[in-house]
Structure formats: C-alpha cells, structure tokens
Amino acid sequence: MNTAYLVDDRFLLHDDFDHPENAARLRSVLRTLESSQILPELTRLEPRDATMDEIVAVHHPRMIQHTQRMALFGGGRLNPDTYVVPESWEVATLAAGAVARAVEAVVGGEVRNAFALVRPPGHHATPSTAMGFCLINHVAVAAQVARQQLGIQRVAIIDWDTHHGNGTQDIFYDDPQVLYVSSHTYPFYPGTGHWRELGSGAGEGTTLNIPLPAHTGDRAFERVYETLVARAVRRFAPELIIVSAGYDCHWRDPLAPMAMSVTGFARLAQLVVALADEVCNGRLVCALEGGYDLQALAEGVLATLRVLQGKPELVADSLGTHPEAKLDLEPMIAAIARIHPLLT
Ligand SMILES: [Zn+2]
C-alpha cells in the first residue's frame, strides 16, 4: 500500500509576509518535493472541508464565531501573534478537513500512511482560544473524527514540534482514550508542558510531557523516543497514531534554540513508523505544524515522507548536523519513567 500526501493551493491564502508563519513555508516544501521527484511515487488525496459539527466537537462556538467574524470584516489579530485574513477561516477549515481525510484514508485502508501538508498550524488552539499562529486544532478534529465516525477507540497523538501543544493537551486532558505525548523545549512558549502535567480525572496518565533543555540534539531526542515515547505508546496500545509534525527543533530554526538535524527528524519518523507497525497495523498520519527555516522545514518534510514510504535510505540532509550540547538527560528520563502512571 502507498503513502499519501494532502495539500491544496488554498493553504497559501492565509498569508502575512511579515509573519514567520507565512505562505512561503508551504511553497518551500512544495518546491522541494517537486524537485525531489517523490510526488509521482505517492498517492495524492484531495482535502475536504471539516464540517461545523466536527469543529464544534473540539472548539467552543464563541471562539469559532470570533475568528469567523474577524475574517468576514477583513481580518486582523486575534492576539499579538495570531493573524486572520479574509480567507483564514476557510483555510483553517480545509486544513482540519485535510487531516481528517488523511485519517479516513488510513483507517479505511486506502493508503498505508499519510502526511497532511497544512497551514496554519493547529496544536496551540485550545477548546476556547485561537493562539500561537493556530486557529483550529487539526489533529484534535481528526482524532475525534476517527473516534466518532470510524470506529476507532484509542488514538495516540505524538507531538515533536519544539513548542508544547497546549491546545491538544487541553482538549484531551481528562480523556482516557486519547494519549497525548509531547517532546518540547522547556521553559519556552507557551509555558506549559511540565512533566507533572499528566492528565486529570479519568485521563490521568494519558498525557505525557517530556520537557527538554535548549540545544537538545539528535542523539538525545532518539534516546527520549526509544525509551519514554515507545514505552508509553506500547502500554497505551492505540489503534491509530497521529503525529503533530513540526520542524522547528532544527538547529537552523530562527524561533527556537534546539539542535536537531534533518537526519534526526528521519530517525524520529523511523521510530514512530516502527511503533505504528508494532501496535496499530502501521496506521499513521502526520500533520504539519511549525518549522520556520524554509530549507530545514522542506527537507524535514521530504525526509519524513521518505521514511513513511519505506525508503529511509533516500533521506538527504544538505544542512548537516550541528554540534550537540553534551546534555545528560538520563536523570530526567529516569525521573519521568518513575513518576508517570503509564510508565511505572
Ligand atoms: Zn512550533
């Protein structure tokens, strides 16, 4: 079975060239995918719009109306870092629907796995607030579509963006059927993601936060994923894995202080593909989140697609690795393994 990608020219309409989250990001990804010759080897799926019912399943109607109204009246700023243009609501609805369509195709057996190349990102959008460049939480919408429409009960969301996905965490914080795992720079925007944030009520233990210091690089990330992430996902036994795939942990990223390389992203993708093969028949969907160095972003997406299609030997990394800080994460890994209900 094939690997699918989903993209749409309308994702370019949400744009502010003065803002780091602009349409040049997706243009860079598309240019790189076209010149790599990978696209003919993949299945192209057309995104669909998310329905209002699907969006209301994760967001408060007042928040939706607020963004819609701002778009209708010509755009503006929902907060200092989150912009809206007249097309933004339509674009975000299509982006959420694209991730949902990817989930439908993977769960329905049309394709082996899929990558939704969407904009704007989604993981900071909470039930009631659009923030951090995000208008709708796409992976949350897609996880709920899987559970409410496709007969899936347990979904694991793995978030390797450099920022903590506070929105995704909030949406599923007391839900025992959705595991949210995030590795992220800490302390950093948006301020959440301490390891003691474990979920609450029936959902206690189905949130796993792995806060990482600045300058964390490939080897440390690999160690974190081989130990904590793999163990938590195995124990949780999901029927589907969705990845919030951000590329702002790359050493060249202008917004973040991490030290990963494109090769490092490929390695994380390999570990997650192997986990999906082991626990959920390979059912894996990636959704694009952040990544603000245009070349690192594009090469990171291409590397991930090469791994998804089972050709890791074709991963190319023209930017190379960065001297990795000698960080001893073992005490932190041991501490998280000791306190987290899913790991003990
Ligand atoms: Zn990010």
Q: Is residue 170 part of a domain?
A: yes
- Measured in Å, residue 240 CA sits from the centre of ligand 1 at 23
- Measured in Å, residue 161 CA sits from the centre of ligand 1 at 5
Number of domains in the chain: 1
pTM of the model: 0.98
Mean pLDDT across the stretch 151-179?
98
DSSP state at residue 13: S
184 near 163, Cβ under 8 Å? yes
- Measured in Å, residue 235 CA sits from the centre of ligand 1 at 27
State the pLDDT confidence band at 140, using cuts at 50, 70 and 90.
Answer: very high
According to DSSP, the β-strands at 178-185 and 155-159 are parallel
What does the pLDDT look like over 38-64, one tens digit per residue? 999 999 999 999 999 999 999 999 999
Q: Is residue 161 part of a domain?
A: yes
CB under 8 Å to 95, separation ≥6 — which residues?
11, 47, 116, 118, 119, 120, 122, 136, 138
What does the pLDDT look like over 179-220, one tens digit per residue? 999 999 999 999 999 999 999 999 999 999 999 999 999 999
Residue 41 structural domain: 3-339
- Measured in Å, residue 121 CA sits from the centre of ligand 1 at 8
- Measured in Å, residue 49 CA sits from the centre of ligand 1 at 24
Q: Is residue 325 part of a domain?
A: yes
Q: Is residue 344 part of a domain?
A: no
H or E segment and range at residue 268: helix 262-279
What does the pLDDT look like over 99-134, one tens digit per residue? 999 999 999 999 999 999 999 999 999 999 999 999
Q: Which two tokens stand for residue 239?
A: 């029927």
Catalytic residues: 124
Q: Is residue 334 part of a domain?
A: yes
State the pLDDT confidence band at 322, using cuts at 50, 70 and 90.
Answer: confident
- CATH number of the domain at 116, please: 3.40.800.20
15 near 85, Cβ under 8 Å? yes
Determine the Cα–Cα distance for residues 142 and 242; give it in Å rounded to an integer. Answer: 9
Q: Is 111 helix (H, G, I), strand (E, B) or coil?
A: coil
Question: Could you give the percent of the chain with pLDDT greater than 70?
Answer: 100
- Measured in Å, residue 300 CA sits from the centre of ligand 1 at 14
State the pLDDT confidence band at 95, using cuts at 50, 70 and 90.
Answer: very high
Q: Is the pLDDT of residue 172 over 80?
A: yes
